[in-house]
Chains A and B, each alone.
Chain A
Amino acid sequence: MADVRLNQIRKTFGGHQVIKGIDLDIKSGEFIVFVGPSGCGKSTLLRLIAGLEEISDGTLDIGGMRANEVPPDARGIAMVFQSYALYPHMTVRENMAFGLKLAKIPKPERDAKVRKAAAMLQLTDYLDRLPKQLSGGQRQRVAIGRAITRDPDVFLFDEPLSNLDAALRVATRIEIANLKDAMPGTTMIYVTHDQTEAMTLADRIVVLNAGRIEQVGSPMELYHRPANVFVAQFIGSPAMNVIPVESSGDRIRFPGGGENDLPAHARIVGESLQFGIRPEHLREVPQAEAAFSGTVTNVERLGEQAIVHVEIGNGTMLVAKIDNDTPARKGSVIHLAYDPARAHFFDARDQAICAA
């Protein structure tokens, strides 16, 4: 059991600051996911927590103790790498027992821990195999098993599913979710660029961009109340539509001529306004009820639903996720409406304008 506290953490590589003052409290037993685009600093932040990179400035506390100068093996952590990082010349058993052997744990206890972890991950039949004799999914399970045997306070995952194919990714994701339930006292920090992994696994998500935190919150909080345009468009697939609108009094006018009521909280005088609506919150309606009308430029049929790309005027594009039964096809005209309660508004600095 250990909480992790980051206080104004900064990391500089050769004069270039990649982590720009991160403050974050991770509670003991919490499953937290760092998510963000490539190069946002999420893996670097994880490596700083692991002790694989030196912290340039700020303090890191693990379990209430300053950990900046503590070597990786003494931080009470275990880490699962994207590339598995299994020792190629050691069997599965030896891989899983290596850390315990170094910690001078007696052999019977070592064996018991390895057997327990192997059973948890369905690896019992593979204990005497070399990593090269295993599939990608099995290798990743060994990497997780190696981390489990260390009995860590903090479990770190660095994009553990990125090297797996789509089907295996789903299966392993579920295994990690089960692992989280099986180890309720262990703090887990998970890095991914995949928002599905973030949404399905996290207690809280930390959205990072260019070395800074954009927002921290539960998956649903981030989905329903994004703090800014970046988070709004990063969480959710397809990304939220964000379009510039004109407002006058209690009305907003969309590109292409559609109009609607402007909620009271979004009536900002003298500032340009951005309107956001998620593709799944748009619905196809008769022309008379439409907020937007436009020409369909593409239809992606997913089976149950269809993703329709619509040009609503002045080159402004909208993406709608609607019922697959829609007659929309490339070149046809479509009319869309939205539920005002689902609409988001952002100011000129891309920050959300929230209802009080």
Chain B
Amino acid sequence: MTKENLAAGLPDGFTAPPLPRRIRKHRPDWLVAYLFLAPAAAVFATFVAYPMVDGVSTAFSNQMVGQDSAFVGLANFKKLFSDPHYIRAAWNSLVLTLGVVAVKLVLGLGCAVALSQPMPMRGLLRALAFLPWAVPGLIAGLSWKWIFDEQAGILSYLAMSLHLSDRPIYWLSDPSWGLWSIGIAMIWHGLPFFTMMFLAALSSIPSDLNEAAAIDGAKPVRRFFSVILPQLKEVIFVTVMLSTIWTFNSFHMVHVLTGGGPAMRTHILPTLAYHYGIAQSKLGLGSAVLVSVIPVFLILIVLLTRRMLKDEN
């Protein structure tokens, strides 16, 4: 008996038929994996990686629209860090993001808790609560522009009708109101995402947890903070992180409502980048504005990814 037949438990003299050609050559797993990955990698390289690398390299150049460019090192960044418009835009971005996300978090939790209670027409109320999320950002911005309009807008009309103000309020063109107005529009548009995420998380919490706490003597408020809220920790983290990134990058709302004005007072970093890069044709400076926030986003994205992959690992 041959050694091979003995090992395979085959009778002496038995010769196995040859394997079909296509399975005789065994491809390594990693090669198969890369083959499957290749189409997505090609799309990513073309539409994500290349523009990003190009954008970063532009930030280190004096590129103007339609002109030759040269490498200028950190010159654009030095200029930005001493530019009051940049510092104001960075401050606006920070304040707007923190404020809007904080309000969305509190209101979103409140709405989710309210919409999770049994009540008549709950389905309709839920649909209405989610409606703003379905409106494209640009359309939402335009709608709010009309609402805030000092002459034709309903807010000014209401303020005067109710004698809260004796003259039109310049919601968008008054520097002290501009950021508030942008914030309100952003909250309106982004709140349904919070509500939706929290409502889904709330409905996945077993009701007997709440009932056990009730038997243990916890009143509704205590039950919410001691038993329900800790179960929402993960979804709160992920929602806040995602919303922070989206709100920070929310170009359209500011662009449509104020365009960064009046007097460059309501710019946030993405609109300032547009202002420098497109309106003033200084592509290098505009790119530098965006590249300057990459470290902040990297930290947020690493935190988010680690948390989201925690369960998977």
How far, in whole Å, are A71 and B216 apart by their CA atoms in the complex?
Answer: 11
Residues of A within 8 A of B206 (CB): 83, 85
Residues of A within 8 A of B216 (CB): 73, 98-99, 102, 146, 150
A81–B217 touching, CB < 8 Å: no
Expressed in whole angstroms, the minimum distance between the Cβ of B138 and any Cβ of chain A is 42
Expressed in whole angstroms, the minimum distance between the Cβ of B30 and any Cβ of chain A is 35
Q: Mark B214-232, 1 if CB is under 8 A from A, else 0.
A: 1111100010001100110
A83–B208 touching, CB < 8 Å: yes
A79–B212 touching, CB < 8 Å: yes
How far, in whole Å, are A316 and B21 apart by their CA atoms in the complex?
Answer: 63
A73–B215 touching, CB < 8 Å: yes
Interface residues of A in 78-95 (CB under 8 A from B): 78-79, 81-83, 85-89
Residues of B within 8 A of A85 (CB): 206, 208-209, 211-212
A73–B208 touching, CB < 8 Å: no
Residue tally, chain A, CB below 8 Å to B: 23
Size band of the B side of the interface? 10 to 19
Expressed in whole angstroms, the minimum distance between the Cβ of B218 and any Cβ of chain A is 6
A73–B209 touching, CB < 8 Å: no
A73–B214 touching, CB < 8 Å: yes
Residues of B within 8 A of A79 (CB): 211-212, 215
Residues of B within 8 A of A89 (CB): 230-231, 233
Interface residues of B in 169-226 (CB under 8 A from A): 206, 208-209, 211-218, 222, 226
Residues of A within 8 A of B230 (CB): 87-89
A81–B218 touching, CB < 8 Å: no
Partner of A81, one of B212, B222, B226, B231: B212
Q: Is A256 an interface residue (CB 8 A)?
A: no
- Which of B208, B211, B215, B218 gathers the greatest number of chain A CB atoms within 10 Å? B215
Q: Is A21 an interface residue (CB 8 A)?
A: no
How far, in whole Å, are A52 and B209 apart by their CA atoms in the complex?
Answer: 12
Residues of B within 8 A of A98 (CB): 213, 216, 218, 226
How far, in whole Å, are A86 and B206 apart by their CA atoms in the complex?
Answer: 10
Expressed in whole angstroms, the minimum distance between the Cβ of A293 and any Cβ of chain B is 53
Residues of A within 8 A of B208 (CB): 81-83, 85
A102–B209 touching, CB < 8 Å: no
Residues of B within 8 A of A150 (CB): 216
Residues of B within 8 A of A185 (CB): none
Expressed in whole angstroms, the minimum distance between the Cβ of A73 and any Cβ of chain B is 4
B218: nearest chain-A partner, CB-CB? A102
B215–A72 touching, CB < 8 Å: yes
B binding-site residues for A, Cβ under 8 Å: 206, 208-209, 211-218, 222, 226-227, 230-231, 233
A binding-site residues for B, Cβ under 8 Å: 50-52, 71-73, 77-79, 81-83, 85-89, 98-99, 102-103, 146, 150
Given A50-B215, A73-B218: 19 more A-B contacts, CB < 8 Å = A51-B214, A52-B214, A71-B214, A72-B211, A72-B214, A72-B215, A73-B216, A81-B208, A81-B212, A87-B209, A87-B212, A87-B213, A87-B230, A98-B213, A98-B218, A98-B226, A99-B216, A99-B217, A146-B212
11 contacts between A and B (CB under 8 A): A50-B211, A52-B211, A52-B215, A72-B214, A73-B214, A73-B215, A73-B216, A79-B212, A85-B211, A98-B226, A99-B215
